Amino acid sequence: MFKLGLTGGIGSGKTKVADMLAELGATVIDTDAISHALTARGGLAITPIRAAFGGRAIDATGALDRDYMRALVFDDPNLRARLESILHPMIAQEVERQAKQAKGCYVVFVVPLLVESGRWADRLDRVCVVDCERQTQIERVQARSGLSLERIGQILDAQASPEQRLAAADDVIDNGARISLDELRAQVLGLHQRWCNLAG
């Protein structure tokens, strides 16, 4: 099956684009959604995370304490690698399971850190980047998460630059501040039709 990678910086609008593609009939596999399910209450990653990082890593509901873990691993590459060594194999296994059940003319893998990870290049037929201005990203993330400007800036700085993402892109969707929902939908529809043609 034709495989498309969909990526973009935090707050770029990847999820909105992915939802539109799903409505058009593509199979969407969202690695972020899989990660959230694994670290929710009762998720498969909870027990190994508690063993690796202690009880503080799990909140009162039994889910991963995201704020605590974000602060813990953000500035420590060793701790981040330890967390990734737990999550990445589980995510990969679930991605593979969902991909085997994919229907539609192509499958979309939504991978926020696609460019940064370096693990996807030989597994995809095309890469699409959702792009917007840094200030727009900041405003969107602030509105939905309540994170501080400083923390949002740190997250953006840790991600690939727009130039690095665009260099890896076969297709680009402009979701900047001036783009209306109808204009975004028109871009998505045009690319969907192109990808269906490429998929044969």
For the chain, residues with pLDDT lower than 70 are none
Phi, psi at residue 127, to the nearest 5°? -125, 130
Instruction: Quote the pTM value.
Output: 0.90
Evaluate whether 134 touches 156 at the Cβ level (below 8 Å): yes
The pLDDT value given to residue 147:
85
Nearest to 19 by CA among 32, 11, 28, 6: 28
Calpha distance 122→80 (Å, rounded)? 25
Calpha distance 87→52 (Å, rounded)? 12
The pLDDT value given to residue 132:
96
Evaluate whether 111 touches 153 at the Cβ level (below 8 Å): no
